[in-house]
Amino acid sequence: MKKKIGFIAAMTLVALALLSTRFYMVDVPIWHFLGGGKGPDPATLHLRGEFVESNLGAAEGPAGSLTVRMIAQQFVFVPQCIVVPAGVPIRFRITSADAVHKLSFLGTNYGLKAVPGVVTEATFTFAKPGEFKIPCQEFCGAGHYAMRGQLEVVPRDQFASLLPGERRNCEPR
Ligand code: CUA
């Protein structure tokens, strides 16, 4: 009897040890289950729905509202750089194509989790023009430490003159 309990305890420890090192692989089905499968399907994000490539980055909605859509995936943010206007509330909508990631805007206390199968939404305002690095702050696998995007905040009138494609990259202009 004692032997049996010992065996079960040992197996539990092994399972926990596996789970603690591979948790980012377990996340996907669990989050999908919790999301009830109602969110976007991580496998077809790029192909259809809200997160197709042409719909990513900053887009103007009704009544001058501004929405930024992004995908986090091992080990990049898509788009890699986004341009937004200063002093305007910006609604971020983000999802993940694989593991759980966390977007943080260096130098601010703004952060946003990217979860496969779920759209996370938050509204942030960046008061002044500037550049913000976006490091991933949730361990998401081997390339986690190199996973970073960029946010460029430009004056409002400059933003208004940018074409949709120019709002998705930070090439010097
Ligand atoms: Cu993505 Cu860490």
Distance (angstroms) between ligand 1 centre and the Cα of 105 equals 14
Can you give the pLDDT at residue 63? Answer: 79
C-alpha to C-alpha distance for 63 and 95, rounded to whole angstroms: 25
How many Cβ atoms from other residues are within 10 Å of residue 33's Cβ? 10
Can you give the pLDDT at residue 166? Answer: 84
Can you give the pLDDT at residue 2? Answer: 74
Can you give the pLDDT at residue 30? Answer: 57
Can you give the pLDDT at residue 129? Answer: 95
Distance (angstroms) between ligand 1 centre and the Cα of 113 equals 10
Residues of the chain with pLDDT under 70: 14, 16-37, 173
How many Cβ atoms from other residues are within 10 Å of residue 86's Cβ? 16
Ligand 1 nearest atom to the CA of residue 101, by list position: 1
Pocket (CB within 6 angstroms of ligand 1): 72, 75, 101, 136, 138-140, 144, 147
Can you give the pLDDT at residue 108? Answer: 92
Ligand 1 nearest atom to the CA of residue 137, by list position: 2
Q: What is the DSSP letter of 106?
A: T
Of all protein residues, the one whose alpha carbon is nearest to atom 1 of ligand 1 is 101
Can you give the pLDDT at residue 11? Answer: 75
Can you give the pLDDT at residue 158? Answer: 93
